[in-house]
Amino acid sequence: MSEAPVLFRTLPCRSQAGGESLIGVATLNAPATLNALSLEMITLLDEQLAAWDADPAVMLVMLEGSGDKAFCAGGDLQQLYRSMREHHASPQAADPLANSYALEFFSREYALDYRIHTYAKPVLVWGHGIVMGGGIGLMAGASHRVVTEGSRLAMPEVAIGLYPDVGGSWFLNRAPGHTGPFLALTGAALSAADAQFARLADYRAAHTDKARLIDMLQTQEWAKAPAANHEHLNGLLARLQQCAPPAPASPLREHYDLINDLCASGNFGDMVLRIATLESEDRWLQKAATALRKGSPGAAWLAFAIQQRAKHLSLAEVFQLELGVSLVCAARPDFAEGIRALIIDKDNQPRWQPASLADVSETWGEGFFAPLNLEGKTA
């Protein structure tokens, strides 16, 4: 297989209008890192999606991951970690805009996510295997999101001192009931059924039916109008879902009433206390509570606070808000410390600053939202 980090190909298909018609397929090709997104991958994807959008021969776009383990496990954090360490040691450590790599990485990643959210042509994501963080950023905005029996989705950023970004402040605000803040605070893992219930996936299919789907895409007669093609693709995926085996029960749906009760007050401190001290014999709930207790207290505060601020913002405004907040996260200690503890040194002993929720002051928290002059500096 090619060593290119993203593989692009076009497949011939049928069109009601005649002439050449194509399906654009992008394959994330970094299986050794579970297809984690590097800056190069983000740039390649954005450029090719723009080209396919402008090409009248392309009827729809499909995104997939190389290998059977993951669609995309998130962002490639190695270079981002190095850039943060260098920035923290520099005379410009107090300036979040001085980390040029973080600025380029986040601005390009969010621009790509926004492009997918607003793409006119159908975008089909085959979300098999692990889909986390930046992978959910790619998937959440797609018009047709497919999960399989092997799909495992999560936004576990609080564990590394970040918050659910890549539009998470938008789509978690639109999850049922109070599941949005619960998922942001705990990073709870989602199955295929969970993902559909949380409105992060549209259809469920057997992974073995992927080749059959591609054949269906190539034999479908596509229209010139994108709106009609969205409907055509809905029909194909609905047929495929009918052939999928029954999904196991959704823990998110099973515990929906309890989650709503835990988060009903809307008060951050009360919510965290109730989740973190939850006593349950259910393993899924136990893992969620443990993840909150072990995660960054400051990142937990931020994960809740940014959802509150984003409630009435447009999608474009949410991405602009997240860009500034993510740059402040990169300038502060917890994000780099979380990556060090979980990914670099793997000692699983992060030293969070602040060390507890009691140490999170309002002034410290509001610093995440201090205005940054991003004009002319974003992708």
> Domain locations in the chain?
6-369
Share of the chain above pLDDT 90, in %: 94
Residue 27 has what DSSP assignment? E
Residue 96 and residue 329 in contact, taking contact as beta carbons nearer than 8 Å = no
Neighbours of 83 (CB within 10 A): 19
Predicted confidence (pLDDT) at residue 195 exceeds the cutoff of 90: yes
If DSSP states are collapsed to H, E and C, what string results for 72-136? ECCECCHHHHHHHHHHHCCCCCCCHHHCHHHHHHHHHHHHHHHHHHCCCCCEEEEECCEEECHHH
Q: Which two tokens stand for residue 153?
A: 């989705």
Report the pLDDT value the prediction gives residue 373, as an integer from 0 to 100: 85
In angstroms, the Cα distances linking 67 to 8, 38, 64, 145 are 15, 17, 9, 18
In angstroms, the Cα distances linking 300 to 14, 179, 183, 346 are 49, 15, 11, 21
Site of tokens 């509001």: 366
Report the pLDDT value the prediction gives residue 16, as an integer from 0 to 100: 86
Cα dihedral across residues 369, 375, 378, 379: positive or negative: positive
Fold of 6-369: 2-enoyl-CoA Hydratase; Chain A, domain 1 (3.90.226)
Report the pLDDT value the prediction gives residue 196, as an integer from 0 to 100: 97
pLDDT tens column, 206-261: 999 999 999 999 999 999 999 999 999 999 999 999 999 998 999 999 999 999 99
Q: Which two tokens stand for residue 116?
A: 């997918």
pLDDT tens column, 338-355: 999 999 999 999 999 999
Q: Active-site positions? A: 75, 134, 157, 165
Report the pLDDT value the prediction gives residue 377, as an integer from 0 to 100: 63
Residue 136 and residue 156 in contact, taking contact as beta carbons nearer than 8 Å = no
Whether pTM > 0.75 for this model: the answer is: yes
The half-sphere exposure of 136 on its side-chain side, counting CA atoms within 13 A, is 29
Nearest alpha-carbon partner for 194 in 272, 280, 264, 255:
255
